Structure 1
């Protein structure tokens, strides 16, 4: 509350003091405390586990069964989409775009495999699959530049993912089975790096200190 005293002089030269009391508008500062959970570990785990399982198939350990397809739809797909929506609530553009996009990547990949079997559409050619994987590699490269403002663990995940997409794109374009096997091992390493990044955030938060370092810049 502020008091203002205004002094006026009338025609006779006599001063008249008019006292006015004005109330200044109080400026209310609202502090919003974020009490929501960190969605990044969910997205990273969904990506990491599904990536490892698919690339275990790529190196020939087992076939492409309903196990991988179900992981692609639910944990790799829906879980990452949920994480992306949660990142949107936190006003994290990078997390929103990354998790939502890769969640939809997994679902689209499952549909690419399943639609020909259901008679909905024909199977893509090797060139078409190569273009599909290459464009995801380009997209990942764009996000990779954003990781330089995050931490080294996330930068490693995206670095390995760029290489993975490009190797898989080349393997489909060339028909080289050896390159696909190499991509499989590299993909397992990429998945493990994502699991580490997710586990570090879970464990560090649980213990209230850095147990598993993320390599903050």
Structure 2
């Protein structure tokens, strides 16, 4: 979960233009190896444990980061303002597809786990706003800032979930609440 969180944090800093960041150089490496490869491998490790949701979540979002970083390389995008219409449309389409995937993940967790429901909700909003920023002719930086802000919220939730899972599995000293909703049998 932390690979996802720190990659989203970095991407959010980029999206809001922190400290005059204009290029995607840092997110390409992080997206390929931390958010991509490490997370993809975590997804593969979750499947033998019987965690189908975790396997699908980590594998798909690991693949997202790899595909996003590869798309930036292939499209030759090096800053938000230097993208041409073809690059903006391509990245916007990529993000809208991932918004749809995230909506499906949201529907899968909304009645089971509050923290994952919040994570997928804010992550979906981030995708949607960022996709709109690529397609907008006016207010694109405002949309991008909002998408980045929701990315920060997503990253904080992901860090909390990761810390909760670490404490629960390794230390067993105390359980951090994640809002797990137990299903009752009728």
TM-score (norm 1): 0.73
Paired with 2:85 and 2:160, the residues of 1 have a C-alpha distance of 35
Distance of aligned partners of 1:206 and 1:90 in 2 relative to their CA distance in 1, 3 Å threshold:
closer
| Inter-CA distance 65–166: structure 2 relative to 1 (3 Å threshold) | closer
Q: Is residue 186 of structure 1 aligned with residue 150 of structure 2?
A: yes
Instruction: Check the 8 A contact 1:112/1:123 in 2, yes or no.
Output: no
Instruction: Give the superposition deviation at 1:65.
Output: 4.8
Are the structure 2 counterparts of residues 65 and 131 from structure 1 closer, same or farther at C-alpha, using a change threshold of 3 Å?
closer
**Structure 1 partner of 2:117:** 155
Equivalence for 2:136: 174
CA root-mean-square deviation: 2.0
Contact 1:116 1:123 in 2 (8 A): no
Range with bigger deviation, 62-71 or 164-173? 62-71
- Structure 2 residue runs of 5 or longer lacking an equivalent are 78-83, 182-186
1:51-200 equivalences under 5 Å are: 51-61=8-18, 62-117=21-76, 124-175=86-137, 176-200=140-164
Secondary structure in structure 1 of the residue aligned to 2:142: helix
Distance in 2 (CA, whole Å) between partners of 1:155 and 1:65 is 29
State the distance in 1 between where 2:24 and 2:89 align: 24
Q: Distance in 1 between matches of 2:170 and 2:105?
A: 28
Please state how far the C-alpha of 1:155 moved relative to its aligned partner. Answer: 1.1
Task: Tell me the number of residue pairs that the alignment of Structure 1 and Structure 2 aligns.
Answer: 171
How far apart, CA to CA, are the structure 2 residues paired with 1:73 and 1:123?
A: 25
Question: Residue 7 of structure 1 corresponds to which residue in structure 2?
Answer: none
